[in-house]
Amino acid sequence: MNSENRENSFYNGFMAGRPPKQEATAFGKRLADLRKAAGLSQTEVSSALGIPQRTFSYYEREARFLPSNLVQPLAELFGVPVAELLEGGAEQSGKRGPKSKLERLFEKAQRLPRAKQEFIAKLLRELIGNQA
């Protein structure tokens, strides 16, 4: 191994971050799972919420609850009911996980003016081949 590869392996190991001191809380694990299922990074979530990434990382690792002003926006961002976010409703009630990106797009499309909805429907019919 040449000196450049040694430096890169050291750098990459260093950049992996320090190992956690303790296991994440049940709430933190659920929050991380919901974020990953929604296909979002911690940076994307923290940016959407207007908080530092480090703060959101804390919520995923150590927190046992969220500040009340973040509950509703986070549930909407993940596409899950507030109860699932706070109580883990999916595991307890057998419901499926967060909505897919396509489902969230359809929900947004439903709020568009009728003319734009019809354009999207026409485009989908052409792409799918009138199978819908």
Closest CA to 40 of 70, 74, 81: 74
Instruction: Tell me if 38 sits within 8 A of 78, measured CB to CB.
Output: yes
Identify the pLDDT of residue 21.
64
- Which whole number is the average pLDDT over 19-29? 75
Winning range, highest mean pLDDT, from 3-7, 60-64, 70-74:
70-74
Q: Give the tokens for residue 12.
A: 């990459």
Mean pLDDT, the chain, rounded, equals 77
